[in-house]
A and B are shown apart, each in its own frame.
Chain A
Amino acid sequence: MNIVVCVKQVPESRDVEMDPETGNLKREGAAAVMNPFDLFALEAGLQLKERYGGTVTAITMGPPQAEEVIREAYMMGADDGMILCDREFAGADTLATSFTLAQGIRHLQAVDLIICGLQTTDGDTAQVGPGIAEFLDIPHETSIQKIHGMDEDGLRVEKDMGHVVMDLSLQLPTLISVAKGVNQPRLLSFRRKLQTRDWPARYLERSDLDDHKEAFFGLDGSPTQVEAMFPPQPHTASERWEGSSQELADRLVQLLVEEKFVQSGVDE
């Protein structure tokens, strides 16, 4: 089974503050790490490879320093790594990112399974995995909480749908995005760190890709544009309520309704 795992380098801390006067983001020496959700995706790929043979290739789109997450994937057990790196990829939204990664995966050929983390901690959209699957015209499922393995219908998995769980099989080739807790990611191996120190990571730029029309990549290929960024309105209320218990209860019920904390009577 030839498996591709999509990974991304993200800022370690989610704590980004914005200067309310200048609107500038304050980012104090934020270290970059592998997106935590991707550790589960890598572990899922490695476990399937151990059961069914084949290879695990880690792929990422990013600047040259994103090679660090490919090296981390090697240390966990990946066989190969690819970095899609080109200035023309800059400013990509989820559409352009999905397209670029799909092109990179197509370049690898004979891929049976693509695994993504559910979402990234910096973008939080969970959109890139399904986008890749559409570009490759293969089925996908998101929020996978359990991987049973192969059965006669394909890869058998459980999908978390909120209040219900779906037990299903996907024909290969396919793409899944895995939820936190689908497995226990292994630790990085120091021995593998030494073994893989000289392993190169393959770099691909736009001109290496099959479909490399400029308009599909980076900012040009991104329909969405960030118009502005501003600090959120913090929940600043600090009220002290006093009165009879009935008055307090009524005010609280009203608050819960106004703030939409009350279930509307239908299961999620």
Chain B
Amino acid sequence: MALKVITDRCTGCGRCITVCPFDAVYLENDVAVITPGCRVCRLCIKECPEDALYLEESSQPEADMAGHSGVLVVAEAVESKLHPVTLELMGKGRELADELQQKLYVVVIGHGLKSAAEELLQYGADEVWLYEDASLKHFRIEPHTNAAAHAVSGLTPNIVLIGATPVGRSLAPRLAVRLRTGLTADCTTLKVKENGDLVQIRPAFGGDVMAQIVTPQHRPQMATVRHKVMDPAQRFRREGAVLRQQELTDSALASRIRVHSVHRRREKPSISDAEIVVAVGRGVKEQKDLKLADDLARLLGGQVGVTRPLVEMGWGDHTQQIGLSGRSIRPKLLIALGISGAVQFTAGASGAECVVAINSDPDAPVFSSAHYGLVGDLYEIVPKVIAGLERGESIHAVL
């Protein structure tokens, strides 16, 4: 399959060159030529006024579509603990399976996970397959891929969902190659068509464009999904839900990787990479009050940032400073506490996807760039937010 030019029709107007996002078209003797840079996005086909461009379809053998049924979630366990993305994948997986009137399968790979695997039966799975072995304790790519591939060949699912975590982003592409099927990374929306095709929507070009991707001729269809994108599964046990223990051969458990140790991260990750940032400005009266921001950030799994005046007063260090003379951040959520919103600060924070500002001055410039502006005293509001989150935390801890 390739993009072709009907040379008789091409007038050399160059509109295809203008729309091509990949610089993959040039003119030779006033006729468009497609280079290997072409990603077949088809924009030029739509743009061409002469209908001189077309997609040459090739006949591909169809995969055995009817033979594949069900949604398989690969649970994620790091060091014998399930990652919460597992329940989120199961929530989405259950929804897709219901729509297709098919089953939801979960595969659990690791060591010391039997009770966690049993617990997953309470969250809408029809079948949980457990691969339990001491040599699967650490994530090592070959035996983990072998286990996942074993489950896929036994269950022949239509769809496979994997978390877009450090583990999933290593496992999923290896599994997709083994199965010679398509894999779409970091999907933010997943839905199914009536024929069982999975519609996968993901951000492209750093989030400036959304791409809708399908895997029409291959099964299973594979997608990874980031943590905190889908809603977690509800507690609900399906009738006949069953746990099945699986065995792998010794050669399938072998690995050319030796794990020496696993330890908790010592260094704090950079504020530039943080997904959630609680930023503090001069609305904070005393240095000890920064504890409010610390507590809020800890509950949200985020990091604390400060504005320049606070660094100058010695209340924070340079690595925490957000702004023109500090770091630029691109978090999913920025909570600005007592920040007026001077250009110095906003220049470093413009990449934030969602901005919540709390400020007692209703005229503070920060409100013009905030998505949610809370007019009030941070000393009154933040402790109540912290209390509210702490209450919620005990309800939400499910695994």
Binary per-residue interface labels of chain A (207-243) against chain B in the complex, 1 for a CB within 8 Å, 0 otherwise: 0000000010011101111111111100111111111
Contacts of A187 in B (CB 8 A): none
CB closest chain-B residue, reference A32: B23
Query: Does B388 contact A139, Cβ atoms closer than 8 Å?
Result: no
Bin the interface of chain B by size: 35 or more
Query: Does B40 contact A16, Cβ atoms closer than 8 Å?
Result: no
Chain-B contact segment, one of A40-48, A105-113, A247-255: A247-255
A163, A259, A261: which has the most chain B beta carbons within 10 Å?
A261
Complex CA gap A125/B217 in Å reads 21
Q: A166-B138, A268-B227 are in contact. Are A261 and B212 (CB under 8 A)?
A: no
Query: Does A166 contact B259, Cβ atoms closer than 8 Å?
Result: yes
* In the assembled complex, A17 has its CB within 8 A of some CB on chain B: yes
Binary per-residue interface labels of chain B (1-28) against chain A in the complex, 1 for a CB within 8 Å, 0 otherwise: 1110000000000000001010110000
Query: Does A268 contact B184, Cβ atoms closer than 8 Å?
Result: no
* In the assembled complex, A121 has its CB within 8 A of some CB on chain B: yes
* In the assembled complex, B250 has its CB within 8 A of some CB on chain A: no
Chain-A contact segment, one of B311-319, B338-346, B370-378: B370-378
Complex CA gap A90/B367 in Å reads 47
Contacts of B78 in A (CB 8 A): 161-164
Task: Give the residue of A124, A139, A228 whose beta carbon is less than 8 angstroms from that of B186.
Answer: A124
* In the assembled complex, A126 has its CB within 8 A of some CB on chain B: yes
* In the assembled complex, B68 has its CB within 8 A of some CB on chain A: no
Q: A222-B182, A262-B396 are in contact. Are A16 and B212 (CB under 8 A)?
A: no
Tell me the number of A-to-B contacts counted with CB atoms below 8 Å.
344
Complex CA gap A171/B254 in Å reads 12
Which residues of chain A from 80 to 105 have a CB within 8 Å of any chain B CB? 85-91, 93-95, 98-99
Contacts of B216 in A (CB 8 A): 225
Chain-B contact segment, one of A51-59, A68-76, A140-148, A193-201: A140-148
Query: Does A231 contact B1, Cβ atoms closer than 8 Å?
Result: no
Q: A168-B258, A220-B60 are in contact. Are A263 and B173 (CB under 8 A)?
A: no
Minimal beta-carbon separation of A42 from chain B (angstroms): 21
CB closest chain-B residue, reference A222: B182
Q: A127-B183, A245-B381 are in contact. Are A18 and B212 (CB under 8 A)?
A: no
Contacts of B217 in A (CB 8 A): 223
* In the assembled complex, B242 has its CB within 8 A of some CB on chain A: no
Query: Does A164 contact B262, Cβ atoms closer than 8 Å?
Result: yes
Complex CA gap A121/B23 in Å reads 17
Complex CA gap A236/B380 in Å reads 27
Query: Does B263 contact A165, Cβ atoms closer than 8 Å?
Result: yes
Query: Does A252 contact B43, Cβ atoms closer than 8 Å?
Result: no
B199, B204, B261, B354: which has the most chain A beta carbons within 10 Å?
B204
Contacts of A90 in B (CB 8 A): 2-3, 24, 34-40
Complex CA gap A1/B127 in Å reads 47
* In the assembled complex, B218 has its CB within 8 A of some CB on chain A: yes
Contacts of B24 in A (CB 8 A): 63, 90
Contacts of B367 in A (CB 8 A): 240
Query: Does A17 contact B398, Cβ atoms closer than 8 Å?
Result: no
Contacts of B207 in A (CB 8 A): 232
Complex CA gap A257/B232 in Å reads 12
A142, A220, A229, A236: which has the most chain B beta carbons within 10 Å?
A229
* In the assembled complex, A25 has its CB within 8 A of some CB on chain B: yes
Contacts of A34 in B (CB 8 A): none
Q: A121-B206, A135-B177, A164-B78 are in contact. Are A140 and B211 (CB under 8 A)?
A: no
Q: A164-B78, A225-B216 are in contact. Are A131 and B173 (CB under 8 A)?
A: yes
* In the assembled complex, A77 has its CB within 8 A of some CB on chain B: no
CB closest chain-A residue, reference B397: A265
Query: Does A235 contact B353, Cβ atoms closer than 8 Å?
Result: yes
B178, B374, B375: which has the most chain A beta carbons within 10 Å?
B374
Complex CA gap A154/B255 in Å reads 13
Contacts of A153 in B (CB 8 A): 258
Which residues of chain B from 160 to 219 have a CB within 8 Å of any chain A CB? 165-167, 169-174, 176-178, 180-186, 199, 203-218
Binary per-residue interface labels of chain B (60-104) against chain A in the complex, 1 for a CB within 8 Å, 0 otherwise: 100000000000000000110111100100000000000000000
A160, A169, A240: which has the most chain B beta carbons within 10 Å?
A240
Query: Does A160 contact B166, Cβ atoms closer than 8 Å?
Result: yes
Query: Does A241 contact B47, Cβ atoms closer than 8 Å?
Result: no
Contacts of A62 in B (CB 8 A): 36-37
CB closest chain-B residue, reference A14: B206
Binary per-residue interface labels of chain B (100-124) against chain A in the complex, 1 for a CB within 8 Å, 0 otherwise: 0000000000000000000000000
Query: Does B176 contact A226, Cβ atoms closer than 8 Å?
Result: no
Minimal beta-carbon separation of B244 from chain A (angstroms): 25
Task: Give the residue of B3, B139, B261, B354 whose beta carbon is less than 8 angstroms from that of A167.
Answer: B261
Contacts of B396 in A (CB 8 A): 262, 264-265
Contacts of B263 in A (CB 8 A): 164-165, 167
Which residues of chain B from 260 to 294 have a CB within 8 Å of any chain A CB? 260-265, 276
CB closest chain-B residue, reference A88: B2
8 closest cross-chain pairs (CB), A and B: A265-B397, A223-B182, A249-B384, A91-B40, A14-B206, A245-B380, A253-B388, A63-B37
Binding site for A on B (CB under 8 A): 1-3, 19, 21, 23-24, 34-43, 46-47, 58, 60, 78-79, 81-84, 87, 138-139, 141-142, 145, 165-167, 169-174, 176-178, 180-186, 199, 203-218, 227-229, 231-232, 255-265, 276, 299-301, 332-333, 353-354, 356, 358, 367, 370-377, 380-382, 384-385, 387-389, 392-394, 396-399
25 A-B pairs with CB atoms under 8 Å apart are A14-B205, A27-B21, A91-B39, A93-B182, A95-B177, A133-B174, A143-B169, A162-B265, A166-B138, A166-B139, A169-B257, A222-B182, A224-B215, A225-B213, A226-B39, A226-B211, A227-B199, A231-B208, A232-B207, A235-B354, A240-B375, A263-B393, A264-B232, A264-B398, A266-B81
Could you list 9 further interchain pairs (A-B, Cβ under 8 angstroms) beyond the known A252-B388, A264-B398?
Answer: A130-B170, A130-B174, A165-B264, A166-B138, A223-B182, A223-B215, A240-B373, A248-B381, A249-B388
